[in-house]
Amino acid sequence: MKKNGYKILVLSDLKDSFSTTLKSAVSLGKMIHGDIDFYYVKNASDVVKRDNQLSAMRTINHEYTTIDKKIKSIIKSYSKNYDVNINYKFSFGSVKNDIGSHIEEQKPDIIVLGKRKSKIANLTGDNITDFVLNKHDGIILIASNKNALEPNEELSIGLLNNKENTFNIPVAKDLINQTQKPLTSFKIVKNSNELKEMTNTMDEKMVEYVFEHSDNTIDNLSNYLSKKNINLLCIDREKTTVKSEKYPANSELKKLLGKVNISLLLTGKKQLLIS
């Protein structure tokens, strides 16, 4: 664990998934002793739609007060209930530019995003998640709005595609050290010969499930996650997005992100394009 704690940045659109996204961030922060910052950007063109300068200023001031009150109310509730400090900031401007600048300035270890209705959170209608995935080389938590990570409750973690790399990532390692055992590992392989070879090399401290690559692979994986009560799936971004004989292409990762109703911890430093 890092000596001074991890820096966790939460990005949200303040819609229905805001509360559950923040709850998952709080849960993660408490487990790894992370410092939590919340950041929200509202597109300036959505606020100011009049040419009159005085009217525009009144609109901005009113919107500022409304947003500040909403954020402060929810954050105050979580801070009190879970004994955690959460800093927040919001601005009016260009969403992608402001988020990009904030990420560069703050240099978070982990970014937390929410998703809703089987789609990755789209903060302004122009897929901010894709932007963040390409902008941030570190870990990204995509928090489920249906099954939020619960603060002060033990995790049940699943690993997808590369358990060795996952154990070498400090944040993931710190989480795994505090979770239920044995862990559950999932692999997607090209054929059954590979399946047999991998099954014979299973780690005694880990239960491993191997899926043969097919059109139904993601559906089968999603069902197993539900049956095994997994509430956080760690995905090796590099392995899962590399187009090779062993691993599915980006299109199947997109299906995974859309169909799985649990939180996903994306590791690795490869760019991920899922549009």
Distance CA 179, CA 156 (A): 6
Q: What is the pTM of this model?
A: 0.82
Q: What pLDDT shows up at residue 243?
A: 40
Identify the pLDDT of residue 254: 66
Relative to beta strand 7-11, strand 232-236 is: unpaired
Helix (H, G, I), strand (E, B) or coil at 66: helix
Give the 3-state secondary structure of 23-39: HHHHHHHHHHCCEEEEE
Sketch out the chain's domains with CATH numbers: 7-143 (3.40.50.620), 157-267 (3.40.50.620)
Q: No. of H helices and E strands in the chain? A: 11, 11
Position 167 scores a pLDDT of: 62
Structure tokens at 163: 């358990």
pLDDT tens-digit profile, the chain (275 residues): 454 579 999 998 887 678 889 999 999 999 888 999 999 998 877 776 666 677 777 888 888 899 999 999 999 999 999 999 999 999 988 899 999 999 999 999 999 998 755 444 444 344 787 788 888 988 999 998 888 898 888 888 888 876 566 666 777 778 877 776 777 888 887 776 655 545 444 455 678 888 887 778 888 888 888 888 898 998 877 655 434 333 333 455 567 777 788 899 988 654 333 33
**Token pair for residue 88?**
């927040």
The first and second tokens of residue 213, run together, are 């690559």
Alpha-carbon distance of 132 to 135, in angstroms, equals: 5
